[in-house]
Amino acid sequence: MRFKEDDKLSEDEFWKNVETRWKEQSTKFKFFNITCFSGVDAHTVPLLKIIAPKIISLSIHTEILPCGLCIELLGALHEMKHLNQIRIDGVTLTALYNSTTIIDLSFNSIILDSINMKRDSAALMSLSKQFLKSHGIIHIDNCRDNNDVEIIKKILPNFKIGVDYTADKSVFKLIASKKLITIPCYHSPFAFPVPEELSSEVIDQVNKINDLYLPTIQQSLPEKLFDAYGLIVIGRLPAPIVSDHLAFLRYNNIQPEIVPLDLSLITTLTRLELRMNKPRTEIIKLPHSLRILDLEIQDNLDGFCTVDGKKGIKELTQLTHLEAKFSDTQSLTLPTSLVSCSLSMCPCLKTIGLEGVNSLTRLEVQACESLGDMKLPSSIKLALFQMCPKIHSLEVPSCLKSLQHVFDPTIKLSYF
């Protein structure tokens, strides 16, 4: 983080200050889980060395790694005495291997991410002996055929093998038979490239994949590795999702077209997370079984979904928890069953329909600049309003235990 006073400093002075802050702040924590997803540069390694003895989980993803930095990074890894799980991508792995003849990556839990067999096979073959006592996951990028899979099985017998949407359709059968798992990346939702003319065999394989891997991708990952891997995406396969046991479905940072338009057949679904990278316009069918709904970058909250043919979130009659971020919606009518609601970064939101919402105990509203005065339900116990400048007065119940309003003009309260 760059503070105002840092603007007067030279680049060297600034980074010395940053290192000093790291030293001071690191004393407050016992362990660290570190992610270097945006690459490693000359300033990253000194910062890692400061907290190296406290790092227990490390995730590295680079697009290019110069030889000099490789040597420094290997030195920092050597100082991480408590590191028990590491996620490292193919570019970084190959760069480290090419930089020196002495390399030690023998950790207990390892995720080898975005391994391209054409590019990284030499490094992988040479380092595989170090991984024989390790367990983990290897994600093959652009998996070409079964030969890629067979090679990995021989050199890394303790590793689960995963592929993503870049895999060739020839590996369908391996996934359907549970010989492969589907591993989406931070940046790429899982969605199979399906041939235009589907054979009955391929359709059968897709249905098996749906049944095996949609319940939750976490079931396919060793528990110790889940945090190290980072954000997990449950992806969509082309066949309709029909399940009698799926309870939790998560789509994270994905294109709207990846999300299926009909989830109403999953009558066991209780939790749904839809986090887009741009707004969607299509209406999605949701099951009335939903209890928790988490939305991000979803406009028109009052009309984006239907439940049993009726439009709007208000029709989710069993919903108890709602969270919505980054929406241009102008209005939102809440379901009467709601217990907790969090709305943030909805700059166009003018009204929240609270009529009949008699179970709501917690309401958080942040950065909703157009929202005006309102009357809270009598059931409200905790309320937070932050950066809502057009709220000048609130009607609140006398049973209200906590009300916070931050960065706002003085709000006039009237009790009932």
Hey, where are the domains in the chain? Answer: 31-230, 240-416
Q: How confident is the model at residue 322 (pLDDT cuts 50, 70, 90)?
A: very high
Residue 330 has pLDDT above 70, yes or no: yes
Residue 377 has pLDDT above 60, yes or no: yes
Q: Tell me the backbone φ, ψ of residue 205, rounded to 5 degrees.
A: -65, -40
The per-residue pLDDT for range 149-183, each reduced to its tens digit, is 889 989 999 888 887 767 776 776 777 676 777 66
Q: How confident is the model at residue 143 (pLDDT cuts 50, 70, 90)?
A: confident
Whole-number pLDDT of residue 258: 58
Q: Which CATH architecture has domain 240-416?
A: Alpha-Beta Horseshoe (3.80)
The percent of residues in the chain predicted with pLDDT above 70, rounded, is 77
The per-residue pLDDT for range 99-136, each reduced to its tens digit, is 887 888 888 888 888 889 889 999 999 998 888 888 88
Q: Could you write out the DSSP letters of every residue in 218-287? A: GGGS-HHHHHHH--------SS----SS--EEEEEEE-GGGS-SB-TT-TT--EEEEEESS---S-EE--
Map tokens 């991480």 to a residue. Answer: 80
Q: Which option is the CATH number for 31-230: 3.10.20, 2.40.30, 3.80.10, 1.10.3470?
A: 3.80.10
Identical fold at 31-230 and 240-416? yes
pTM: 0.49
The per-residue pLDDT for range 18-61, each reduced to its tens digit, is 888 888 878 877 888 888 866 788 888 888 999 899 888 888 88
The per-residue pLDDT for range 245-289, each reduced to its tens digit, is 667 777 665 556 556 678 888 888 888 888 776 777 788 899 988
Kindly tell me the burial class for residue 183, based on how many C-beta atoms sit within 10 Å of its own C-beta (0-12, 13-18, 19 or more): buried
Residue 323 has pLDDT above 90, yes or no: yes
State both tokens at 45: 């390694």
